[in-house]
Amino acid sequence: MLEPKQMSRLLIAASRDQMAPVIAELYRHNLFHIEDYVDAGAEGYEGFKIGTPLSGASEKSADLVKIRAIANTIAVHADDVDAKPSCSMDELHTKIERDLPSLEREVEELTARRLKLEMRAKELEQKIAEITPFADIPVDMNLYHGYQRFTTIAGYISREVSLYVPHEMHLSKGKDRNFLVVIFPTEQKGEVDKALAEAGFQPVPVPEESGSARGRIEFYSGETAALHKEIAEINRQLGDVKQKHAAFLVACEELLKAEVDQTEAPLRFATTKQTFVAEGWVPVDKVAAVTNSLVYVTEGKVFVTVVPTDFEHDKVPVEYNNPDFAKPTQVLMDVYSRPRYTEIDPTLMISIVFPLFFGLILGDVGYGLILLAMTFGLRKFIKGVDGQYMLDVLRNASISSIFFGLLYSEFLGFAIPGLKPVLFSRHMMAEAAEGEAMASHGPMIPELIILSVWIGILHVTLGRILGILNHARQDHGEHRIKAMLANFGWIAVMWGLLVVIWSIAPMPLMPDLTGLPAVVSIINIGGIAGIVFAVLGILLIARDSVLEVVELPTIISHVLSYARIVAVGFSSVAIAMVINFMAVGMLIEPQLENFSIFSIFIIIAGLVVFLLGHALNTVLGILGGGLHSIRLHYVEFFTKFYKGGGVKYIPFGMKRRFTED
Amino acid sequence: MAAEAVVAAVDVGMTVEQIKATQIGFKAIAASIAVGSTGIASAIAETAIGSAAVGATAENKDVFGLVLLLTVIPETIVIFGLVVALLLLFV
């Protein structure tokens, strides 16, 4: 929690004949993050070379490429297929040998035929496009060619043209330009070309066809339609192949990928003629298990040891270590950047605070329920791990939205009857409850804004405290103390300014220090203390880096940025209320009072406005609530302590979904 | 407020109701300027970031999440405008 999984650097050395069992065992464990060996003459690695793949690598790679090509052609993705181990490895191997060549041939033949048909269809469409301009000219297309002394020219021209040579001309007028066909004696071609060029003539080829142009177009159109029908039939056959073989293909892909990974693993090891050395990372608690099983499969002919970690130079891979409910939030972390190994991992905090922010922004029971239903509905369509995690995040957010909706007493922008807002009201046209001042004057904007500013103050302070901790963990020597104090300085400046503000003006929901004994004009003792605190903070910041002082205004802008929690949320409430007013107040209610046959249509229109409007507002709500909540984390919170840039922990192995080990 | 309104009403020859209505009207205009101008400012800032973001995503799809965030950063401007407008209208 709050820090990545502890890793140990493991060094495995053995003779070459143990390579295959060691690789197989490491792959089975799916725990060993291989540190690729680079042939750069590192200390202690003189004379080592990058290894060569195990036998059978190229055949398996070729098979894998074939399978992927087929899967690609018929659009099969592992994510779309439900996971179930279908058969054992031996069965699959025999199936690959028996079925793969015929399947490959079948798919290849079908796609080759489809390609041929598509090309033919394109050719015909091209022909149709060429003939189309001639359709308006009532001349048999036979008459355009076959002369020895005459030439035919066709093309587009912007205006009419007169030729002073013997000729026959057909002009069909179009909207923007005219189509022209001219037949003239070949010896006068020069003059004709000149005259046409002056009129801005654009020639098109004269098609070698016979019969009427319209007739030809009809004929070719018929042929293309037949071709498209055939293509559709082939697509249907490919669909059948997909349905029949999808499970087999994904299982084969998985099996072969595992085998190719294993046969190619030596490319990442350091080897000599007789031995090999593999280095990598294993979670601390798994070291014993991995070591023991390696010793077991090689009958003791292996040397495994834990090498001490060098935090300065080693790039330790980072694997999250979070409780189950926080795991989905890792997706949001990876979007920004994975934490470094030595850094505090804030995933757990985001998993709690992100839904809270989302709920504060989109606090509405109706929208929350819609989103909740959506997350359950989409689960059927989104199958990847990341997608599922994203849905989990959205689910948590929507539950929080329902919770805050109850506190705000909001349902699709309406007030929930009989439920007074526990939290400050966001209703714009809130009706005055009897003898109650709270909800009588619309939304409680100042209170809401100050609430969100409080959230900002606390969130930013937490960020700075984490900054102090991170510097304490990561830095060394003099810089460590300076950086820690600078982070404390930022906290001091912020709270100092706050105390000054409190001592000058009273504000709702904030401590009132105006009653303290005055010193100079409006500055009282509290104010003096605040100023001292702020100046001390600035000095501490400047001591670490003078340039940082330029950033001081971010204290105010970052804290005020949290006002978006109210502003974005309030805009969503406003849109909902406008939709309700338009649909119910303007369209439905007046019709219900004076009901007539015609009213039905207006009521239906009102319902359409209601549904479309709230659908739009739901989308805006996800965007507003989600993006702004996460942005508050990334920009305002993370900049205080978080660097990121850790290497992802990718263990050598795979989670088998379709095959059994 | 009321006393000032009465004084002002006497000065310019308007009734107190007219003065109040004018005040509400000016508040509404001020709020609309606050939201409108900051909205335009955000839009101008986001055009440059947005086009760069689309370019970066075309080069490397992995940066989509990050550039989406960079694109919404200038929204802070319009949020401040909205906060100011809300304060004008409701406080």
Each residue's pLDDT tens digit, A192-202:
888 888 888 88
Question: pLDDT at position A327, please?
Answer: 93
Question: pLDDT at position A661, please?
Answer: 65
- Check if B87 contacts A (Cβ < 8 Å): yes
**Which of B65, B68, B76 faces A561 most closely, judged by CB atoms?**
B76
Q: Is A144 exposed, middle or buried (0-12, 13-18, 19+ CB in 10 A)?
A: buried
Question: pLDDT at position A558, please?
Answer: 92
- Check if B68 contacts A (Cβ < 8 Å): yes
| pLDDT greater than 80 at residue B7 | no
Residue contact B72–A631, C-beta within 8 A: yes
Check: CB of residue A518 under 8 Å from CB of residue A524: yes
Would you state the structure tokens that stand for residue A12, as one six-digit string?
């495995």
pLDDT digits (tens, 9 = 90+) for A383-401: 778 889 999 999 999 999 9
Question: pLDDT at position B3, please?
Answer: 65
CA A398 to chain CA centroid, nearest Å: 20
**Which of B80, B82, B91 faces A446 most closely, judged by CB atoms?**
B91
- The pTM of the full predicted model, rounded to 2 decimals, is 0.79
Residues 6+ apart with CB under 8 A from A539: A489
Question: pLDDT at position A488, please?
Answer: 96
What secondary structure, in 3-state letters, does A37-106 show?
Answer: CCCCCCCCCCCCEECCCCCCHHHHHHHHHHHHHHHHHCCCCHHHCCCCCCECHHHHHHHHHHHHHHHHHH
Q: Is A1 exposed, middle or buried (0-12, 13-18, 19+ CB in 10 A)?
A: exposed
For residue A567, which residues of chain B lie inside 8 Å, CB to CB?
A: 79, 82-83, 86
Give the pLDDT band (50/70/90) at residue B10: low
- Check if B76 contacts A (Cβ < 8 Å): yes
Residue contact B76–A564, C-beta within 8 A: yes
Mean pLDDT in residue range A24-41: 88
pLDDT digits (tens, 9 = 90+) for A497-539: 999 999 988 888 888 888 888 887 788 888 999 999 999 999 9
Q: With pLDDT > 90 as the criterion, what percentage of chain A qualifies?
A: 45
Question: pLDDT at position A226, please?
Answer: 93
For residue B69, which residues of chain A lie inside 8 Å, CB to CB?
A: 336, 627, 630-631, 634-635
| pLDDT greater than 70 at residue A178 | yes
A287 closest CA partner among A277, A295, A275 = A295
When scoring A389, A507, A571, A632 by the number of chain B Cβ atoms within 10 A, the one with the most, hence best to mutate, is A571
Helix (H, G, I), strand (E, B) or coil at A2: coil
Report the residue of chain B nearest A556, measured CA to CA.
B80
Compute the distance between CA of residue A68 and CA of residue A60 in angstroms, rounded to an integer: 12
| pLDDT greater than 80 at residue A483 | yes
Question: pLDDT at position A137, please?
Answer: 82
Question: pLDDT at position A46, please?
Answer: 81
Out of A96-110, A161-175, A335-349, B75-89, least confident range:
A161-175
State whether the Cα torsion A303-A308-A313-A315 is positive or negative.
positive
Q: Which value does ipTM take for this structure? A: 0.79
Compute the distance between CA of residue A483 and CA of residue A130 in angstroms, rounded to an integer: 75
Backbone φ and ψ for A302, nearest 5 degrees, come out as -150, 150
CB A524: neighbour CB atoms within 10 A? 20
Chain A residues at the B interface, defined by Cβ less than 8 Å, are: 335-336, 442-443, 445-446, 449, 557, 560-561, 563-564, 566-568, 570-571, 627-628, 630-631, 634-635
Compute the distance between CA of residue A592 and CA of residue A79 in angstroms, rounded to an integer: 51
Helix (H) or strand (E) holding A1: none
Question: pLDDT at position A86, please?
Answer: 62
Out of A45-59, A453-467, A486-500, B1-15, least confident range:
B1-15
A231 closest CA partner among A129, A112, A125 = A112
- Check if B28 contacts A (Cβ < 8 Å): no
State whether the Cα torsion A535-A536-A541-A544 is positive or negative.
positive
CA A376 to chain CA centroid, nearest Å: 20
State whether the Cα torsion A224-A230-A236-A237 is positive or negative.
negative
Residue with tokens 């700075």: A464
Mean pLDDT in residue range A127-133: 88
**A450 CA to chain B: closest CA distance, Å?**
11
What end-to-end distance do the CA atoms of chain A give, in Å?
32
Residue contact B79–A442, C-beta within 8 A: no
> Rounded mean pLDDT of chain A?
88
Q: Across A480-484, A510-514, A621-625, B68-72, which has the greatest mean pLDDT?
A: A480-484
Question: pLDDT at position A434, please?
Answer: 44
Do the bridges between strand A150-157 and strand A49-50 make them parallel or antiparallel, or are there none, so unpaired? Answer: unpaired
| pLDDT greater than 60 at residue A433 | no
Question: pLDDT at position A148, please?
Answer: 85
**B6 CA to chain A: closest CA distance, Å?**
24
Question: pLDDT at position A406, please?
Answer: 93
Give the pLDDT band (50/70/90) at residue B5: low
Do the bridges between strand A410-411 and strand A414-415 make them parallel or antiparallel, or are there none, so unpaired? Answer: antiparallel
Out of A310-314, A371-375, A548-552, least confident range:
A310-314
A210 closest CA partner among A297, A139, A117 = A139
Question: pLDDT at position A469, please?
Answer: 94
pLDDT digits (tens, 9 = 90+) for A557-605: 899 999 999 989 988 998 999 999 999 888 888 888 888 888 889 999 9
Angle at A634 between CA A630 and CA A635, to 5 degrees: 115
Residue contact A631–B65, C-beta within 8 A: no
pLDDT digits (tens, 9 = 90+) for A435-478: 444 444 567 888 888 999 999 999 999 999 999 999 998 888 88
A588 closest CA partner among A580, A625, A220 = A580
| pLDDT greater than 90 at residue A432 | no
Would you state the structure tokens that stand for residue A148, as one six-digit string?
């020895």
Mean pLDDT in residue range A24-51: 86
